[in-house]
Amino acid sequence: MFEDAIPEAREYVSQEPHFRRVWHHYRQFLFKERIQQAIRKGDLTDDDVKRAKSFFDSNGLPSPTLLHSAMKGHLGDVSNDPAY
């Protein structure tokens, strides 16, 4: 699901500030929309999303840093955490 929600960077992605802001808002909107679609289809539940939010950043997007930290054990023992 994340692969669809956050398109990979193409050969050239502008570093222009306005473009980066628009791109950020687009990614955020698309991710939230894909989550809602998955809930409507029954692939996810609201509880799944609530548990996973501990791995989202302040903008509501998945945080690779938090996930990586959890995988490396820097967030304590999360192996019993259903969100992980």
> pLDDT digit string (tens) for 7-27?
554 556 788 899 888 988 888
Domains contained in the chain, number: 1
In a domain, 46, yes or no: yes
In a domain, residue 7? The reply is no
Distance CA(11)–CA(76), nearest Å, equals 38
- Which uninterrupted H or E stretch holds 59? none
- In this prediction, residue 38 carries a pLDDT of 92
Q: How far apart are the first and last CA of the chain?
A: 16
Residue 80 lies in a domain: no
- At residue 41, the 3 state secondary structure works out as helix
> Residue 70 has what pLDDT?
73
pTM (two decimals): 0.59
Task: Assess if residue 8 is contained within a domain.
Answer: no
**1 in Cβ contact with 38 (< 8 Å):** yes
Q: Is residue 23 part of a domain?
A: yes
User: In which domain, by residue range, is 57 found?
Assistant: 13-71
How confident is the model at residue 61, as a pLDDT? 78
Residues 75 and 69 sit within 8 Å (Cβ to Cβ): yes
Assigned domain for 32 exists: yes
Please report whether residue 79 resides in a domain: no
Would residue 1 count as lying in a domain?
Answer: no
Q: What is the pLDDT of residues 24-77, one digit of tens each?
A: 888 889 888 998 999 999 999 988 888 888 778 787 777 777 777 777 777 776
